[in-house]
Structure 1
Amino acid sequence: MKINSLMIVLAFFSAVSLAAEPDHKQPISVDADKTLASLIDSIASYADNVVVRQGSMLIKADKLEVDASAGKGKEVFITTGSPATYSQTLQGDRPVTAQANEIRFDRASRILTLSGNAEVMQSGSLVRGAVIRYNIELQQLSAEGEQNRRVTTIFTPENKDNP
Structure 2
Amino acid sequence: MIKTSLLLTALLFSALALADQSDFQQPLSVDSDTFFTDIQTSNLVYERNVIVQQGSLKILAEKLEIDGSAGKGAEIFIATGNPATYSQLMEDGSRVEAEAQEIRFERADRMLTMTGNAELRQSGSLVRGALMRYNIETQQLNAERGDDENGRVRTIFEPAQRQPQNNNQEENQQP
TM-score > 0.5, shorter chain as reference? yes
Q: Determine helix, strand or coil for the equivalent of 2:24.
A: helix
Show structure 2 runs of 5+ residues with no match: 1-19, 166-175
Are 1:88 and 2:91 an aligned pair? no
Unmatched segments (≥5 aa) in structure 1: 1-19
Residue 161 of structure 1, CA deviation: 2.8
Q: Distance in 1 between matches of 2:140 and 2:162?
A: 26
Q: Which amino acid aligns with 1:33?
A: D
* Matched ranges for 1:1-163 at <5 A: 22-147=22-147, 148=149, 149-163=151-165
Paired residue type of 2:93: D
TM-score by length of 1: 0.85
Q: Deviations over 1:92-119 (max 9, x none)?
A: 1120000000000000000100000000
Deviation at 1:21, TM superposition (A): 6.1
Secondary structure of residue in 1 paired with 2:117: strand
Amino acid in the other structure paired with 1:70: A
CA offsets, 1:35-70, max 9 Å, x none? Answer: 000111001000000000000011100000011100
Which one has more relative contact order, counting CA pairs under 8 Å at least 6 apart?
A: 2
- After TM superposition, the structure 1 stretch with the greater mean CA deviation from structure 2, 71-80 or 88-97, is 88-97
3-state DSSP of counterpart to 2:89:
strand
Q: Give the alignment's Cα RMSD to 1 decimal.
A: 1.1
- Rounded to whole Å, the distance in 2 between the matches of 1:152 and 1:29 is 34
State the one-letter code of the partner of 2:144: E
**Code of the aligned partner of 1:112:** L
For 2:90 and 2:79, locate their aligned partners in 1 and report how far apart those are by CA, in whole Å: 21
Task: Tell me the amino acid that sits aligned with residue 98 of structure 1.
Answer: A
1:129 CA drift (Å): 0.3
Query: 1:160 offset after TM fit, Å?
Result: 1.7
Q: Runs of at least 4 residues of structure 1 off by over 3 A?
A: none
Residue aligned with 2:162, SS: coil
Letter in 2 for 1:61: A
Which one has the bigger strand percentage? Answer: 1
Per the alignment, residue 17 of structure 1 pairs with none
**Distance in 2 between residues matched to 1:113 and 1:21, nearest whole Å:** 20
Query: Percent identity at matched positions?
Result: 54
Normalised to the residue count of structure 2, the TM-score between the two structures is 0.80
Structure 2 counterpart of 1:139, which letter?
Q
Separation in structure 2 between the aligned mates of residue 161 and residue 36 of structure 1, nearest angstrom: 54
